[in-house]
Amino acid sequence: MSRNDELYDDLSRLNNELINLQRRLAKKNVELEKAHDQLERRVEERTAELRSANERLREEIAERRRIEEESRKLRDELAHLNRVELVGALTAAIAHETNQPLAAILANARAALRFLDRDTPDLREVRDALEEIVADDKRAGEVIVRVRKMVKHEEAHSEPYDLSAVIAEVLQLIRGQVALHGATITEDFVPSLPMLRGDPVQIQQVMLNLL
């Protein structure tokens, strides 16, 4: 065999190997593209699953918040109704607490008029009567303020309060009711109690339920 023939055979063999290599590369490229397509589909499917899961989670969170808000509103409404019911049960006590200062105001006003109708008006007595009217008006106003605080429809809130003062207000409000039943309440407060934190109106509501 001549040298040229050998070179031709070598070139033919190399060409065949190159062709085979190209075919293998083409096959690998096809396989790679298929794998890439499958990976993209899996990524899209997983992304869709995650998106759906996130959407469900957002809906669950929104629903939970809605339920919590409705529950809070119901609790506030129930607390308001309880306060109104308590005040209704204390109607006699409230009437007693307000009638006393109102009757005293009327009596002092009439007395002041009599002192003024004298030939020589007794201005000192008139002043005393007017001061008593102011004090009785303040007493009646305090009763009304306490009742308004108890029936006011508002959300519970936390604030510093003096427990002794809160209890004293309740006792002042039910004093007439207690007297109507022939009972007595003895106050024995511990001095210098530390300030507490909470809703004083709710504490008063609990005290009224207990008493």
pLDDT digit string, tens, across residues 119-165: 888 888 888 888 888 887 887 777 777 667 666 655 556 788 888 88
Are the beta carbons of 133 and 105 closer than 8 angstroms?
yes
C-alpha closest to that of 205 among 74, 100, 78, 92: 78
- Phi then psi dihedrals of residue 137, to 5 deg: -65, -40
DSSP 96: H
**Which two three-digit tokens encode residue 182?**
């022939």
What are the tens digits of pLDDT across the range 160-188?
A: 888 888 888 777 767 666 666 677 778 88
Q: Percent of the chain beyond pLDDT 90?
A: 1
Confidence band of 61 (pLDDT split at 50, 70, 90): very high
CA distance 194 to 176: 30
Q: pLDDT-based confidence at 3, cuts 50/70/90? A: low
Structure token pair of residue 163: 């427990």
Which residue shows structure tokens 């709710």? Answer: 202
21, HSE (Cβ side, Cα atoms, 13 Å): 6
What type of residue sits at position 57?
L
| The token pair that represents 159 in the structure block | 């604030």
DSSP run (H or E) holding 159: strand 159-161
